[in-house]
Structure formats: C-alpha cells, structure tokens
Amino acid sequence: MLTSDYMTPKPTTIGPRDRLEAAKALMDAERFHRLPVVENGRLIGILSERDIRAHSGYLKTTLVDAAMTPDPITISSATPLEEVAALMLNRQIGGLPVVDDGKLVGIITVSDMLKAFLALRRERKSR
C-alpha cells in the first residue's frame, strides 16, 4: 500500500503572506487541522492548529510565515504506508505533505492512515 492510494490529492493551501485570521477561517470552514504553505508553486512550510493557537489574539495582524513550521518533513506518493506510519509515530506528526518532483501533490493524515488500516482489514476478512 502506497501513500498515493490514501492521500488527499491537490490539498488546499495558503500563502506565506496571508494572515492567520484567513488561515483559521479556512481551516474551520473545511475542518482541516493543518494547511500546507505554498509560494510560487513550492512547498515552504506547514501551518497547524497549534501554530495558530500560539498566536491567539494576533490573528488579524500575524502573517502565516511568522507562525508556520518551515521546511516540513515530506514524503513522496510512492512511500509505503508502513514507512509513513512509523514516521508519524516516531516524530509525533499528524499529517505529512506529499511532494513529487518538488511539487506538492497531496497530504496524508492520521485519518487517512486509519482508512487504510480499515481497508486492509476488510480485504483480509473477505479472503
């Protein structure tokens, strides 16, 4: 099972010069816990709910690039899910951007990993 089988393709992104207020509104509306930060088509960071909470009270004036985690850990769409799970557990990461040939192509989260686990379980039961 590969990342490409369970990732969310073409994820919603935000720019580094956007305000945290806009990021929070987008995350709340779409029920996201993290947003990839993209500039000129290139992934430059990731913004999490925790990052936003750290700037509570200053969301209207704080730019995304002041709160994001720069140069996040990434994986490729060909990364086996076992490696993704180990990386998420070892690094305590809830979601990873998926990058192929320098371009953001998706995001995979713990929820996606649980869906993969359930699919594998159903597959094994049907044998």
Q: Does pTM top 0.85 for this prediction?
A: yes
71, 44 contact by CB (below 8 A)? yes
Q: Cα(11)–Cα(5) distance, rounded to whole angstroms?
A: 15
Three-class secondary structure assignment of 64-112: HHHHCEECCCCECCCCEHHHHHHHHHHHCCCEEEEEECCEEEEEEEHHH
CATH at 92: 3.10.580.10
Query: In tens digits, what is the pLDDT along the chain, a chain of 127 residues?
Result: 899 999 999 999 999 999 999 999 999 999 999 999 999 989 999 999 999 999 999 999 999 999 999 999 999 999 999 999 999 999 999 999 999 999 999 999 999 999 999 988 888 777 7
Domain that includes residue 79, residue range: 3-125
Q: How many domains does the chain have?
A: 1
